[in-house]
Structure 1
Amino acid sequence: MAAKLTNSTKSELFAAKKRHVTSYDVAQYAGVSQSAVSRCFKSGGSVSRKMRERVMKAVEELGYQPNAIARGLITRRSNMVAVIVSNLNYYPEVLSQLSARFTERGVHVLLFTLDQESDVGRILDQVWQYQVDGVVVAAHLAPGEIEAFNKRNVPLVFYNRAYSDIPVSSVSCDQVEGQRILVNLLVKNGSHKSFAVVSGPADSVVSMQRTREAMNRLHDLGIEDIVQVSGDYSYDSGRDAVDRVMAQRGALPDAIICANDMMAFGCMDQLRYGYDLRVPEDVSVVGFDGVRAAGWSSFNLVTIQQPVDRMAEAAVQMLLDRVENYVLPPEKRIFSGVLRNGATIRN
Structure 2
Amino acid sequence: MANEKITSLQVALKAGVSQSAVSRVYTPGASVSKATREKVDKAATALGYRPNVLARAMITGKSRIIGLVVAYLENQFYPEVVERLSIALQAEGYHVLVFMAAPTIGDVQDVMKEILDYQVDGIVLASVSMSSELTARCSDHGIPVVLFNRDQDDPLMSSVTTDNRRGGREIAAHFAALGHTKIGYIAGFEGASTQRDRESGFRDGLEEAGLAVSFRENGGFKYEMARAAALEMFAGSDRPDAAFVCNDHMAFAVMDALRSKLGLRIPEDVSIAGFDDVPIAAWPAYDLTSYRQPINRMVAQTVETILTRIKDPAAPPQKVQFQGELILRGSTKTLKA
Query: What range describes the TM-score normalised by the shorter chain of this pair?
Result: over 0.9
The one of 173, 187, 196 aligned to 1:208: 196
Residue number in structure 1 paired with 2:247: 260
Structure 2 CA distance for aligned equivalents of residues 165 and 74 of structure 1 = 33
**Shift in Å, 1:212:** 2.4
TM-score by length of 2: 0.93
Secondary structure at the aligned position of 2:138 is classed as helix
Seen in structure 2, the aligned counterparts of structure 1 residues 253 and 50 have a Cα distance that, compared at 3 Å, is closer
Q: Does the CA contact (< 8 Å) of 1:117 and 1:204 recur in 2?
A: no
The one of 265, 270, 290 aligned to 1:283: 270
Q: Does the CA contact (< 8 Å) of 2:170 and 2:202 recur in 1?
A: no
Structure 1 CA distance for aligned equivalents of residues 154 and 14 of structure 2 = 58
Residue number in structure 2 paired with 1:159: 148
Residue number in structure 2 paired with 1:322: 309
**CA shift digits 1:81-128 (9 cap, x unpaired):** 101122122211111111111122221111111222332111111111
Aligned length: 330
The one of 243, 249, 260 aligned to 1:273: 260
1:242 paired to 2:230: yes
**CA shift digits 1:119-175 (9 cap, x unpaired):** 211111111111100001121222212111111110111111224552422111000
Q: Does the CA contact (< 8 Å) of 2:206 and 2:213 recur in 1?
A: no
Determine what percentage of the aligned residue pairs are the same residue.
35
Structure 1: gaps (5+ residues): 1-14
Residue number in structure 1 paired with 2:16: 31
**Shift in Å, 1:263:** 1.1
1:49 paired to 2:34: yes
Q: Does the CA contact (< 8 Å) of 1:88 and 1:114 recur in 2?
A: no
Structure 2 CA distance for aligned equivalents of residues 128 and 87 of structure 1 = 22
The one of 216, 223, 227 aligned to 2:215: 227
RMSD value, Cα: 1.7
Structure 2 CA distance for aligned equivalents of residues 168 and 336 of structure 1 = 21
Secondary structure at the aligned position of 2:98 is classed as strand
Structure 2: gaps (5+ residues): none
Seen in structure 2, the aligned counterparts of structure 1 residues 44 and 275 have a Cα distance that, compared at 3 Å, is closer
**Shift in Å, 1:344:** 1.1
1:67 paired to 2:67: no
Q: Does the CA contact (< 8 Å) of 1:193 and 1:225 recur in 2?
A: no
Structure 2 CA distance for aligned equivalents of residues 60 and 161 of structure 1 = 44
Q: Return the index of the structure with the highest Cα Rg.
A: 1
**Shift in Å, 1:250:** 4.5
TM-score by length of 1: 0.90
Secondary structure at the aligned position of 1:111 is classed as strand
**Shift in Å, 1:199:** 0.2
AA aligned to 1:151 is: D
